[in-house]
A and B are shown apart, each in its own frame.
Chain A
Amino acid sequence: MNEFNYVYLIPLIPLLTFLFLGFFAKKIKEPISGYIGTASLATVFILSLYTAYKYFFVVGLVDGKYQAVRVMIKEAWLNFTDKLAIDVGIIIDPISVMMLIVVSTISFMVHIYSLGYMHGDNGFSRFYAYLSLFTFSMLGLVLSSNLFLIYVFWELVGVSSFLLIGYYFETPSAVAASKKAFIVTRFADMFFLIGILMIGYFGQSFDFQTLNSEGMIEKIGHMIANNQIYSFMGLSLFTWALMLVYIGGMGKSAMFPLHIWLPDAMEGPTPVSALIHAATMVVAGVYLVARLFPLYFHIEDGYALGLVAIVGTFSALFAAIIALTQEDIKRVLAFSTMSQIGYMMMALGVSKYEGHEGLGYMAGMFHLFTHAMFKGLLFLGAGAIIHAVHSNFMDKMGGLHKYMPITSITFLVAALAISGIPPFAGFFSKDEILTAAYEYNKVIWFIGFLVAGMTAFYMFRLYFRIFFNKKKEYEHAPHDAPFSMSFALIFLAILATTVGFIPFSEFVTADRIPFQSHIDFGDPLVIGSILMALFGIGIAYIMYYKETNYPQKLAKTMGVGYKWAKDKFYMDELYIFVTHKIIFDRISKPIAWFDRNVIDGFMNLIGLTMEKLSDKTKGLQSGRLQDYAMYFIGGVIGIIMLVVYFK
């Protein structure tokens, strides 16, 4: 299908922008580079919308099923074997188009927002260059038609995240955070890569369409049944491969226990957090699982998918608990992000494949979509607050509603959306997730249900403490953000309110066959979750709307639990222990020592031995004539003896 030939422009435009801005970062003054970046993103945004329109409404649906369209740009870009190659190609199917919308929308908004937010920063052009690079990578990621190509962009996304987190490279904490983010995700990527290698080995293809095809699933199933694939700990290596791939996704999506980089990543400029660490990059893991969903679902009865569900659920709960206690607003949002992504993972994990049974899949994607809007909004709002208050910490804030009404209202919209209050976007997606989970496993559902309440609580804890609560003294009176920032806030707020009404199941489903789904407000599940959210909001209102001493009391009652949660369950410390104390000190240091002293020492020893030998034997050359004669005669006799003896 040639209708989509132009799609390569979508990632290409940001790439060119990046190159242009990167090369001339010094030459281009502040607003110009921002305008260039924004203009290019506007183009991308329009193209994405056009693509979505065309795909969903014009050509995509054939025989009642959305067809995946592949546009090949360069076949065998990197050829491995006859069958395995990295083909540079674009795949257009419901999820990629949906992601296209998400990425281009949020990125576009962030570009606009940053015009105000980054104003006056002396790395302005560099910032826009990085943003373009990220957008390019992310768009590339979602459009990749090849498993290995996704890895390519996966890495590029990682590096742009690294660059953006470490944007303030003179701040040691930012540098450390960027390093941490990169290394942790890289660690996960290693598993991803191994998984790719294994999938490639067994499947003999990296192409998504081939991998997800029924033939492939049959073939792999056949191989497993015939023991042609080794098994390890009772599971076939192919399942292991899928799990490894998922670990890659866990790294990027900050799932427990690879989440530790995400809170630190908040060192980056806030628009970056909104773009990368809330809306787009962190959902790459979800996207990856969705992309390979047929494999996950079918291979060995979806064992790997079970892991997705468990990890997702646990992360959702884990992050929500931590989020309850954090003081830094961006960290609260970060843990909230982690929690919500856990939700999405959970949704995918509990999903089935066909028709209405694939509700979880649809819900996960839907949540991804809505979450991007309201979480982006939350972060941008937080950015506006930080911009005004010059601090990240809640205790420096309070009573801001009066100073910053626009921010406050948009923030409220987002908070309601994430809490799952109808009619805001989050409600619809969250509810469908819970429905799907309920069908799958009650425990998972219950955790999800609990998390929903916690989410409502900590979001409103945040909201009330920032905008109401006790008024603080401010050096400069805070005020609403400039137009560019407010525009983005309002735009996203509108989206966060409305996107929930999109009939998502008619576009994105596991088997790409649309179905009807609608929320039944009479369903006790729905009512329950709404009540749960309201309950959370209510508690938050009691505790935080006015300054009270309930929080302290509660913290005291919780005791150790509170402290652990506040210290993020010491995951960072654990990692530092493992890396520094064990890997650096117990492995790396001895190896370095071994190299310098044993291996190198051995080489030096040869030299030393020679010198020693030389020194010890010098007495032979005594300078005495008769000694020489003695050796001489001795030599003669010795040789004669030897010859005679051996003859």
Chain B
Amino acid sequence: MIEGVTLVEIMSLTTILFFIGVYGFLTRTNLMAMLMSLELMINAEAVNFVSINKYLSPAILQGQIFSLFIIALAAAETALAVAIILHLFRLTNTIDVKEVKTLKY
């Protein structure tokens, strides 16, 4: 609960953050950068949960716990993604997403 700041404002912020992530994901050509955009999206949600919890139902900590799990899972996801991207790099010497198109049609 931050004085003077309403939930709407926070959620607007997170929504903007989320869509920045989406935009980044759609436009970056570097896989790592895309991964970072993904982090943005997920973080926006984490913030969402915490703030919604705090503002609307502070008695039950559902949202906050949720965001903890989100952080943990995001980390796992990123780790896995990086691992796979590394393999890709080893095989093709590039992490440009535009080059990832062997499988198509």
In the complex the two chains form, is B26's CB within 8 Å of A626's CB?
A: yes
How distant is the Cα of A629 from the Cα of B104 in the complex, in angstroms?
A: 15
B16 at the interface (CB under 8 A from A): no
How distant is the Cα of A621 from the Cα of B101 in the complex, in angstroms?
A: 10
CB nearest to A617 among chain B residues: B105
How distant is the Cα of A83 from the Cα of B103 in the complex, in angstroms?
A: 76
In the complex the two chains form, is A626's CB within 8 Å of B101's CB?
A: no
A626-B97 CB under 8 A given contacts A633-B22, A633-B26: yes
In the complex the two chains form, is A623's CB within 8 Å of B26's CB?
A: no
Give the contacts of A615-642 with B (CB-CB under 8 A): 618-619, 621-626, 629-630, 633
How far, in Å, is A634 (CB) from chain B's closest CB? 10
Could you say which of B25, B27, B98, B102 has the most chain A C-beta atoms within 10 Å of its C-beta? Answer: B25
CB nearest to B22 among chain A residues: A633
Q: A624: which B residues are within 8 A, CB to CB?
A: 97-98, 100-101, 104
How distant is the Cα of A626 from the Cα of B98 in the complex, in angstroms?
A: 8
A625-B104 CB under 8 A given contacts A630-B26, A633-B22, A633-B26: no
In the complex the two chains form, is B102's CB within 8 Å of A629's CB?
A: no
CB nearest to B19 among chain A residues: A633
How far, in Å, is A630 (CB) from chain B's closest CB? 6
How distant is the Cα of A626 from the Cα of B97 in the complex, in angstroms?
A: 8
Q: A621: which B residues are within 8 A, CB to CB?
A: 104-105
Q: A622: which B residues are within 8 A, CB to CB?
A: 101, 104
Q: B104: which A residues are within 8 A, CB to CB?
A: 621-624
How distant is the Cα of A622 from the Cα of B104 in the complex, in angstroms?
A: 5
CB nearest to A620 among chain B residues: B105
Give the contacts of B30-65 with A (CB-CB under 8 A): 34
Q: B25: which A residues are within 8 A, CB to CB?
A: 626, 629
**Contact code string B66-105 (vs A, CB < 8 Å = 1, else 0):** 0000000000000000000000000000000110111111
In the complex the two chains form, is A629's CB within 8 Å of B101's CB?
A: no
How distant is the Cα of A626 from the Cα of B34 in the complex, in angstroms?
A: 10
Q: Which of B27, B34, B105 contacts A623 (CB 8 A)?
A: B105
Q: Which of B26, B100, B103, B105 contacts A629 (CB 8 A)?
A: B26
**Interface size bracket, B side:** 10 to 19
In the complex the two chains form, is A623's CB within 8 Å of B97's CB?
A: no
Q: B26: which A residues are within 8 A, CB to CB?
A: 626, 629-630, 633
How distant is the Cα of A185 from the Cα of B26 in the complex, in angstroms?
A: 82
How distant is the Cα of A624 from the Cα of B104 in the complex, in angstroms?
A: 8
In the complex the two chains form, is B22's CB within 8 Å of A623's CB?
A: no
How distant is the Cα of A624 from the Cα of B97 in the complex, in angstroms?
A: 8
In the complex the two chains form, is A625's CB within 8 Å of B22's CB?
A: no
How distant is the Cα of A633 from the Cα of B101 in the complex, in angstroms?
A: 20
Q: B27: which A residues are within 8 A, CB to CB?
A: 626
CB nearest to B23 among chain A residues: A633
How distant is the Cα of A624 from the Cα of B96 in the complex, in angstroms?
A: 11
In the complex the two chains form, is A623's CB within 8 Å of B98's CB?
A: no
A625-B100 CB under 8 A given contacts A630-B26, A633-B22: yes
How distant is the Cα of A618 from the Cα of B103 in the complex, in angstroms?
A: 12
How distant is the Cα of A629 from the Cα of B100 in the complex, in angstroms?
A: 14
How distant is the Cα of A619 from the Cα of B101 in the complex, in angstroms?
A: 12
CB nearest to A625 among chain B residues: B97
How distant is the Cα of A17 from the Cα of B105 in the complex, in angstroms?
A: 76
CB nearest to A618 among chain B residues: B105
How distant is the Cα of A626 from the Cα of B96 in the complex, in angstroms?
A: 11
How distant is the Cα of A633 from the Cα of B38 in the complex, in angstroms?
A: 13
CB nearest to A615 among chain B residues: B105
How far, in Å, is B95 (CB) from chain A's closest CB? 12
How distant is the Cα of A621 from the Cα of B102 in the complex, in angstroms?
A: 12
CB nearest to B98 among chain A residues: A624
Q: B98: which A residues are within 8 A, CB to CB?
A: 624
How far, in Å, is A426 (CB) from chain B's closest CB? 91
CB nearest to A623 among chain B residues: B104
Q: A618: which B residues are within 8 A, CB to CB?
A: 105
Q: B105: which A residues are within 8 A, CB to CB?
A: 618-619, 621, 623
Q: B97: which A residues are within 8 A, CB to CB?
A: 624-626
Q: B100: which A residues are within 8 A, CB to CB?
A: 623-625
Q: B34: which A residues are within 8 A, CB to CB?
A: 626
How far, in Å, is B30 (CB) from chain A's closest CB? 11
How distant is the Cα of A184 from the Cα of B49 in the complex, in angstroms?
A: 93
How far, in Å, is A614 (CB) from chain B's closest CB? 10
CB nearest to B103 among chain A residues: A623
CB nearest to A619 among chain B residues: B105
Q: A633: which B residues are within 8 A, CB to CB?
A: 22, 26
How distant is the Cα of A9 from the Cα of B102 in the complex, in angstroms?
A: 89
**Contact code string A324-339 (vs B, CB < 8 Å = 1, else 0):** 0000000000000000
How distant is the Cα of A618 from the Cα of B102 in the complex, in angstroms?
A: 14
CB nearest to B29 among chain A residues: A626
How far, in Å, is A119 (CB) from chain B's closest CB? 81
How distant is the Cα of A624 from the Cα of B26 in the complex, in angstroms?
A: 11
Q: B103: which A residues are within 8 A, CB to CB?
A: 623
How distant is the Cα of A619 from the Cα of B102 in the complex, in angstroms?
A: 14
Give the contacts of A586-630 with B (CB-CB under 8 A): 618-619, 621-626, 629-630
How distant is the Cα of A9 from the Cα of B105 in the complex, in angstroms?
A: 81
How far, in Å, is B101 (CB) from chain A's closest CB? 4
How distant is the Cα of A625 from the Cα of B25 in the complex, in angstroms?
A: 10
CB nearest to A626 among chain B residues: B26
CB nearest to A622 among chain B residues: B104
How far, in Å, is A193 (CB) from chain B's closest CB? 62
How distant is the Cα of A630 from the Cα of B103 in the complex, in angstroms?
A: 17
CB nearest to A633 among chain B residues: B22
CB nearest to A637 among chain B residues: B22
How far, in Å, is B98 (CB) from chain A's closest CB? 7
CB nearest to B104 among chain A residues: A623
How distant is the Cα of A624 from the Cα of B29 in the complex, in angstroms?
A: 11
CB nearest to B100 among chain A residues: A625
CB nearest to A630 among chain B residues: B26
A-B contact sample (11 more), CB < 8 A, given A619-B105, A623-B101, A626-B26 = A618-B105, A623-B100, A623-B103, A624-B104, A625-B97, A625-B100, A626-B27, A629-B25, A629-B26, A630-B26, A633-B22
**16 A–B contacts, CB within 8 A, in A order:** A621-B104, A621-B105, A622-B101, A622-B104, A623-B102, A624-B98, A624-B100, A625-B97, A625-B100, A626-B25, A626-B27, A626-B34, A626-B97, A629-B26, A630-B26, A633-B26
Residues on B close to A: CB < 8 A?
22, 25-27, 34, 97-98, 100-105
Closest 6 A/B residue pairs (Cβ):
A623-B104, A623-B101, A618-B105, A625-B97, A624-B101, A621-B105
